Amino acid sequence: MKRNLLFLVAFTSFAIVLHPSPTSAKSPKRNSSKSEKTATSAEIVQDAHGWSFVKGEWVHPNGYKFVKNQVLRTTARIGQPAPEPPGKLALENPQKLTPTTKPAPTSTKTAAETKAEIKQKNLETRPAPQTGSHM
């Protein structure tokens, strides 16, 4: 028992000596602009908690919106718990969460081909329209 107590006292005093006090250590202040620049898109996506920034709104795939620091249900099922709101890092960098849209593929058909398709469509036989009887 004495041995354990002595070991505990010696260990704590040794730990206190090695641990620098916050007043004596001169830690450089972190620049907030640097931390924003170094934030990777993976960290921002993780901080978003599944939210995405679309057309100026935070939306969640489960049917929630984040408006004025509140999570609002739009089309979610009743009884489903609301998701966590997006984190501070994601709120500060929404442009990194916007989905990149690919340009629409241009049509490779020529004008003559499209006219031929329309002509073929118009020449197809269709069933006669059904008129109902008033019996």
Lookup result for tokens 């709120």: 91
Per-domain boundaries in the chain: 34-98
What's the pLDDT tens digit per position in 74-83? 886 777 788 8
Please give the pLDDT value at position 18: 60
Please give the pLDDT value at position 120: 94
Structure tokens at 102: 């690919």
What's the pLDDT tens digit per position in 100-130? 566 666 667 888 999 999 999 999 998 888 8
Whole-angstrom distance, CA of residue 30 vs CA of residue 113: 64
97/22: higher pLDDT: 97
**Rg of the chain, C-alpha, whole Å:** 32
Whole-angstrom distance, CA of residue 36 vs CA of residue 95: 13
What's the pLDDT tens digit per position in 19-61? 555 554 454 444 444 444 556 777 777 777 788 888 888 888 8
Please give the pLDDT value at position 107: 66
